[in-house]
């Protein structure tokens, strides 16, 4: 039986393990954390990633429901800039990270062994296989999937000249509020600050906020209340309904220089290790899931490992490089601070939203039976 090691048991690593198991590989997952699981708050899972999860047999990620109330983009005072329903945009499933992680790992069968508390420190390969070092311990397999996140040890080992993560210039706060609201959610853009929220499939409200600041300054609930406490309803209610100690704060980084290639011999890079992006499109974990789906599909379609891996690289590298770029661009526009530029931005978004609304209405009319 062919053997694989997956380094890292984040969303990307565990999805890859499920995919490899389905193609008949014997998989060992090496995770440095003491326990298998995810922390964090909510995640948007877009239809393309939901489709991959379904393909891999992961059940329970319901199709998105249309929000109960109006959703879209607003100004801090509450005035609508763009209404999602008018332009007919795709709506992602919103789910807690821990719940999604559990739904994926529920699919682990005898084909997957998980070893926690193992920190990978090095990797080498020869014609017959790959050796993964974790301190004194050595693991060997036919294939390694490196899903060890944005600060990937495997990437640093294979691509020592790659500059690695770059700070985006702003930080993110996340929380979960147990509050009953009818608002459909969306994002509100201010000057150098944004606030977004959406209902999770378990009924709670996931919110996130961004603020321009230097890396490493930290922050917590108090800072979010100070920055957003006077923004439109239900933002202050969401903040009041969030336990202060549960608020997460992360400085945001991406891999500004695309990694080329994603595959080196028998080692495939996947997820943030290969293409970490800022969360402005909510697509990082989705891309990791889609990487895992593509890898499994190519491994299933041919018994030649080199061919399968080069097909994986050719499929996933261009798409994800584009997303990294687009996400960075959305972040730059969203984090504008200058009042004149923000006015111009909001005006253009409003006009763009109206045009998109008219086009969407025309399309609906053309498609509706007479």
Ligand X SMILES: Cc1cc2nc3c(=O)[nH]c(=O)nc-3n(C[C@H](O)[C@H](O)[C@H](O)COP(=O)(O)OP(=O)(O)OC[C@H]3O[C@@H](n4cnc5c(N)ncnc54)[C@H](O)[C@@H]3O)c2cc1C
Point out which residues bind ligand X (CB under 6 A): 7-13, 30-33, 43-44, 119-120, 147-149, 153, 172, 174, 250, 271-273, 279, 282-286, 288
- For 218-260, the DSSP string reads ---HHHHHHHHTTSSTTHHHHHHTS-GGG-EEEEEEE--SPPS
| Cis peptide preceding 261, ω within 30 of 0 | yes
Rank residues 119 and 326 by Cβ distance to ligand X and give the closer one.
119
Rank residues 107 and 346 by Cβ distance to ligand X and give the closer one.
107
Rank residues 277 and 308 by Cβ distance to ligand X and give the closer one.
277
Rank residues 13 and 185 by Cβ distance to ligand X and give the closer one.
13
Backbone angles phi, psi at 67, to 5 degrees: -55, 145
CB-CB contact of 64 with 200 (8 Å) = no
Rank residues 12 and 190 by Cβ distance to ligand X and give the closer one.
12
Q: Choose among 115, 103, 73: nearest CA to 333.
A: 73
Enumerate the β-bridge partners of residue 102: none
CB-CB contact of 184 with 86 (8 Å) = no
Structural tokens at position 321: 């490089």
- Nearest distance from C-beta of residue 76 to ligand X, angstroms: 20
**Residue 212: exposure state from Cβ atoms within 10 A (0-12, 13-18, ≥19):** middle
| Cis peptide preceding 234, ω within 30 of 0 | yes
- Nearest distance from C-beta of residue 252 to ligand X, angstroms: 6
Rank residues 157 and 350 by Cβ distance to ligand X and give the closer one.
157
- Nearest distance from C-beta of residue 104 to ligand X, angstroms: 10
- Nearest distance from C-beta of residue 323 to ligand X, angstroms: 10
């Amino acid at each position: 039986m062919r053997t694989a090691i997956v380094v890292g048991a984040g969303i990307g690593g565990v999805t890859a393990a499920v995919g490899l198991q389905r193609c008949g590989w014997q998989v060992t997952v090496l995770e440095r954390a003491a326990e298998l699981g995810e922390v964090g708050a909510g995640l948007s899972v877009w239809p393309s990633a939901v489709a991959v999860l379904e393909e891999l047999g992961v059940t329970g990620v319901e199709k998105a429901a249309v929000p109960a109330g109006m959703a879209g983009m607003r100004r801090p005072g509450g005035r609508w800039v763009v209404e999602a329903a008018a332009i007919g945009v795709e709506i992602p499933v919103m789910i807690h990270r821990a719940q999604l992680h559990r739904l994926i790992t529920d699919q682990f069968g005898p084909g997957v062994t998980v070893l926690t508390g193992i920190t990978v420190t090095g990797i080498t390969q020869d014609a017959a296989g790959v050796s993964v070092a974790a301190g004194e311990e050595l693991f060997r397999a036919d294939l390694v999937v490196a899903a060890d996140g944005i600060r990937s040890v495997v990437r640093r080992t294979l691509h020592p000249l790659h500059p690695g993560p770059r700070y985006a210039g702003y930080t993110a706060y996340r929380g979960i509020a147990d509050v009953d609201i009818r608002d459909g959610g969306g994002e509100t853009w201010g000057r150098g600050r944004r606030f977004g929220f959406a209902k999770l499939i378990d009924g709670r409200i996931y919110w996130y906020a961004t603020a321009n600041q230097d890396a490493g300054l930290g922050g917590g609930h108090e800072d979010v209340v100070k920055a957003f406490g006077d923004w439109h309803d239900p933002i202050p209610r969401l903040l009041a309904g969030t336990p202060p100690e549960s608020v997460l704060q992360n400085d945001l980084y991406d891999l500004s220089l695309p990694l080329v290639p994603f595959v080196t011999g028998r080692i495939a890079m996947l997820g943030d290790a290969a293409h970490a992006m800022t969360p402005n499109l909510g697509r990082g974990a989705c891309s990791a899931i889609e990487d895992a789906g593509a890898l499994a599909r190519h491994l299933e379609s041919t018994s030649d490992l080199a061919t399968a891996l080069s097909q994986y690289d050719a499929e996933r590298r261009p798409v994800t490089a584009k997303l990294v770029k687009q996400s960075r661009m959305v972040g730059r526009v969203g984090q504008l601070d200058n009042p004149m530029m923000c006015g111009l931005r909001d005006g253009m978004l409003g006009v763009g939203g109206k045009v998109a609304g008219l086009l969407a209405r025309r399309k609906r009319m053309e498609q509706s039976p007479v």
